[in-house]
């Protein structure tokens, strides 16, 4: 039994408390400054208003201003904030995180500073004190995990990754339940790269729904699964290139963090909804303003976060633009309101014989 703090009371952070509590751990769920209504509802009814699920009795809710109190005696901190909140989380933990406490990241994404790409766990670590930076182990969870399914004990398969084999295996054992299946991995870079990029490529797959809406079903009721599958495959191929570039291992691309997470994210949700608007011919800025102004679209958020850096790395010859036609197109769609026109002839460069 361990004392665990989950920072971020959104759907995934809250759903993640289920296997923790079911394994007998004491869980403190700390909301961000944007989660006050959620924390209040959990405190009053133990129901999560967005998940529609009742949290376990062992989960104790805290507002963000009580983070220091929640961290007393903590043995593990789970970071479940939105990717835009990673700097906020780092600043909050700088003053409160006991040195040596492992950080386990649910937060997905990459950041770019114009010259290089960075994993979000590494970005958060830069906010910590020198002593914390030296002593804080970083780990992450990756794989196909829809929060609503996890909250209702649907079978879910993920990996836990970190640099310390013993610690990674210990955390995997702390998480496993009859419905939450966990494998250890030492490929932190590959896992985190895959689970970040899946959002961008799921947004691309989502465009097919809009193209179908615009074109309509065929006379024989045929839809566009062929098209969606080709975009999915290209996204996976480009993810493999980026994992190589970042220094990760390709086995993560073709297992749970890559293929698995891209599949489940392509099945629906916010990326698919935005993709549908884009496929219908609505520019991204208009669709965001008029239909999804208050909604986080992770794939678009990633395009905005890394787009300028990707373009710089291509101009410098560090990234091969020929290898990333779909990424280039999606960045152009999100950051420059380009139309959805996929560069078919540029797909699978070097992968397929002609």
What domains does the chain contain, in order, with CATH numbers? 3-186 (3.40.50.720), 189-346 (1.10.1040.10)
Please give the Cα distance from 245 to 119 (Å, whole number): 13
H or E stretch including 106?
A: none
pLDDT at 317: 97
- Owner of token pair 């698995």: 260
Q: What is the pLDDT of residues 243-276, one digit of tens each?
A: 999 999 999 999 999 999 999 999 989 999 999 9
Q: What is the DSSP letter of 10?
A: S
Q: What is the pLDDT of residues 204-222, one digit of tens each?
A: 999 999 999 999 999 999 9
Please give the Cα distance from 129 to 280 (Å, whole number): 48
pLDDT at 353: 53
Please give the Cα distance from 20 to 247 (Å, whole number): 31
Strands (E), the chain: 3-7, 26-30, 47-48, 53-54, 59-62, 76-79, 103-105, 110-112, 117-119, 138-142, 156-162, 180-185
Pairing of strands 103-105, 76-79: parallel
Q: What is the DSSP letter of 288?
A: H
* Residue stretches of the chain with pLDDT short of 50: 354
- Owner of token pair 């104790």: 60
pLDDT at 349: 84
Please give the Cα distance from 208 to 342 (Å, whole number): 11
Q: What are phi and psi for residue 27, nearest 5 degrees? A: -120, 125
| Complete DSSP assignment for 193-240 | HHHHHHHHHHHHHHHHHHHHHHH---TT---SHHHHHHHHHHHHHHHH
């Amino acid at each position: 039994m361990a004392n665990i703090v989950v920072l971020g009371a959104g759907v995934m952070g809250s759903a993640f408390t289920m296997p923790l509590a079911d394994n007998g751990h004491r869980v403190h769920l700390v909301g961000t400054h944007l989660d006050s209504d959620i924390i209040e509802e959990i405190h009053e009814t133990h129901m999560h208003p967005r998940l529609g699920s009742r949290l376990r009795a062992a989960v104790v809710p805290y507002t963000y201003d009580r983070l220091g109190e929640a961290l007393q005696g903590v043995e593990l901190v789970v970071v479940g904030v939105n990717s835009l909140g990673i700097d906020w989380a780092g600043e909050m933990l700088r003053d409160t995180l006991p040195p040596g406490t492992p950080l386990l990241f649910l937060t997905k994404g990459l950041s770019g500073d114009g010259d290089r790409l960075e994993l979000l766990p590494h970005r958060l670590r830069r906010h910590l004190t020198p002593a914390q930076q030296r002593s804080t182990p970083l780990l992450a969870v990756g794989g196909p995990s829809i929060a609503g399914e996890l909250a209702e004990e649907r079978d879910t398969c993920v990996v836990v990754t970190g640099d310390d084999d013993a610690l990674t295996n210990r955390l995997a054992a702390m998480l496993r339940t009859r419905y939450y299946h966990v494998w250890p991995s030492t490929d932190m870079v590959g896992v985190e790269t895959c689970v970040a990029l899946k959002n961008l490529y799921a947004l691309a797959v989502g465009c097919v729904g809009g193209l179908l809406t615009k074109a309509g079903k065929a006379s024989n009721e045929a839809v566009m699964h062929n098209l969606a599958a080709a975009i999915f495959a290209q996204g996976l191929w480009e993810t493999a290139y980026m994992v190589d570039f970042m220094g990760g291992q390709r086995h993560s691309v073709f297992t749970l963090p890559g293929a698995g997470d891209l599949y489940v994210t392509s099945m629906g949700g916010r990326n698919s909804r935005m993709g549908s608007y884009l496929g219908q011919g609505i520019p991204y800025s208009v669709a965001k303003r008029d239909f999804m102004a208050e909604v986080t679209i992770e794939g678009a958020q990633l395009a905005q976060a890394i787009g300028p850096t990707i373009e710089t790395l291509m101009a410098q010859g560090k990234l091969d633009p020929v290898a990333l036609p779909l990424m280039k197109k999606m960045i152009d769609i999100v950051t420059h309101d380009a139309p959805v026109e996929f560069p078919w002839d540029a797909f699978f460069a070097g992968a397929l014989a002609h």
